[in-house]
Amino acid sequence: MRKLTAQWIANAVGGELAADVDAEVTSVEKDSRLVTAGALYVAFVGERADGHEFAPQAFAAGASLALVSQPVPGPHVLVDDVVAALGSLAQAYVALLRTEGSITVIGITGSNGKTSTKDLLAQVLPNAIAPQGSFNNEIGLPLTVLRADPETEFLVLEMGASAPGDLAYLTAIAPLDIAVVLTVGTAHLGGYGSPEALAEEKATLLDGLLPGGTAVLNGDDPRVAVMASRAVLHEDARTTVTFGVGGQGRTLTARDLRLDAGRASFDVQGGQEHSGRVTLSLIGEHHATNALAAIAVATVCGQTLADAADAVAVAMPLSPHRMALTVRGDGVRILDDSYNASPESMKAALRALKDVADAGRSFAVVGEMLEMGDSSLSAHDEIGLDAVRLRIDHLLVVGAGARAAYVSAVREGSWGEEAAFVATIDEAREFLAGRLTSGDTVLIKGSHGTGLWKLADELVGEPA
């Protein structure tokens, strides 16, 4: 982060600076336990804790300033709304960086694939700053922005949306040079009511493009492909790049897609350029779409198609619980995709499980997909049907919210131990403990709020 004065911060957020404060800030933290010397400590008031109570610990750890909505002992900037003030600070900081250097701001949205695509770009683009984990909301995005400095060439931002207006707010903080829309699925559908309303929200990312910016769109998703017309509505020299697997009329196209032990392999064609054969390090056929998006962005940023494809091929997953494959000492393979879940990502994970398991036994441990609204019952019903039709050997459904997946699997023809239901993670642990043997592959998949990621950590031998 570039060094900022307390007065500059107060001016940026429209806050009241405590008297006689002459502090400088070199980092921003919202957790007092992570504060280091020179940090701005941001005191949020949450459902479980009030950050103002931890201001003394933050100052003791070396914080030089606090951003607060109520006075605290120590140097601080007082505002009405800390979340809004953090957004204002990040907005002013992006503008400052643009005046001092050459920074390209990239925003990525989509119902699936945001984090994986962000992680790919973080490894492909030089001097890039990207979120840690899934910092993609009104708090995480500003914190990511404030990690950049004048040497940062590329600021890669994951932009999530759970309610109308979310993307407009985020792009107002960080106007975009490149806007990437991956998919319009059914994740967070409960906040929108219909896929059409969700598609409209995703399309607002393009309204956040600066003059001369570029829209990078998934041509395989009909709801995304039609956004090309919106990207060029304004007469400001915007351009559009499309990508897809097969098909015609794409700027970049993956040809001859194959799978090898769950890893996608393909050739990329862009006009008269070809990449040569690309074999991804990531597991799952669906990562071909994320890889194409990253290659497209890299070429917009000046890389050759071949160089971009080579860099994407060797890139590894950076965020935890994202299609992470671990082979234990006893020969059991754990495929951990437990960070989050939607109908689309659940289906993709089941297909990846089948590919990775190959001739060995496959176990799918699935939990509830949260925030599905009225479509929750039918969405979980489809999971059970998919598991049976893909010939997954064992389906273990965890939690009452996902029980429809178990019911539909039984109805579709899974008998005995082919399908099972347990109410808790403890029961799931006991179910697996007596059954797993060398050569088995276990998928752990569910929304983060179900806590299945804790089971995944236990299964690979890490503390939850």
Consecutive 10-residue runs of the chain (464 residues): their mean pLDDT? 97 92 94 97 94 97 97 96 98 96 95 92 96 86 96 96 92 98 76 80 94 95 91 72 90 93 92 89 93 97 96 91 92 94 92 92 96 89 96 97 96 90 97 94 95 96 64
Handedness of CA 204, 208, 212, 213 (dihedral sign): negative
Residue 304 burial (CB count, 10 A): 13
> What does the pLDDT read at residue 196?
86
Integer Cα distance of 84 and 90 in angstroms: 10
The strand order across the sheet containing 263-270 reads 128-129, 154-158, 104-109, 176-181, 209-218, 239-245, 252-260, 263-270, 273-279
Tokens of 228: 């090309």
Answer whether 297's CB lies under 8 Å from 286's CB. no
Counting every residue written for the chain, the total comes to 464
Residue 119 sits at the vertex; the CA angle it makes with 116 and 121, to the nearest 5 degrees, is 110
pTM here is 0.88
- Of the candidates 67, 62, 55, 64, the residue with the CA atom closest to the CA atom of residue 16: 67
Paired tokens of 45: 């008031």
pLDDT score of 131: 87
Cα 376 from chain centroid (whole Å): 22
Q: How far apart are the C-alpha atoms of 413 and 411, rounded to whole Å?
A: 5
Instruction: Give the SS3 label for residue 392.
Output: coil
DSSP summary character for residue 18: P
Write out the two tokens for 157: 């931002």
Angle (CA) 70-74-78 rounded to 5° is: 30
Rounded to 10 deg, the angle between the 403-412 and 376-389 helix axes is 40
Q: Please give the pLDDT value at position 230.
A: 82
d(CA 107, CA 157): 5
Q: Please write the tens of the pLDDT for every residue from 122-154.
A: 999 999 999 876 789 999 999 999 999 999 999
**pLDDT digit string, tens, across residues 422-441:** 999 999 999 999 899 999 99
Tell me how crowded residue 46 is: count the other CB atoms within 10 A of its CB: 8
Q: Which domains does the chain have, with CATH numbers?
A: 4-79 (3.40.1390.10), 101-314 (3.40.1190.10), 324-459 (3.90.190.20)
**In this structure, are residues 28 and 34 in contact, taking their beta carbons and an 8 Å threshold?**
no
Gap between the Cα atoms of 447 and 286, Å rounded: 18
- For 76, the 3-state DSSP assignment is strand
Helix axes 166-173, 195-207, angle to 10 degrees: 10
Q: Which of 286, 284, 292 is nearest to 267 (CA)?
A: 292
Please give the sequence-ordered ranges of beta strands (E in DSSP) within 271-379, or none if there are none. 273-279, 324-327, 333-337, 362-366
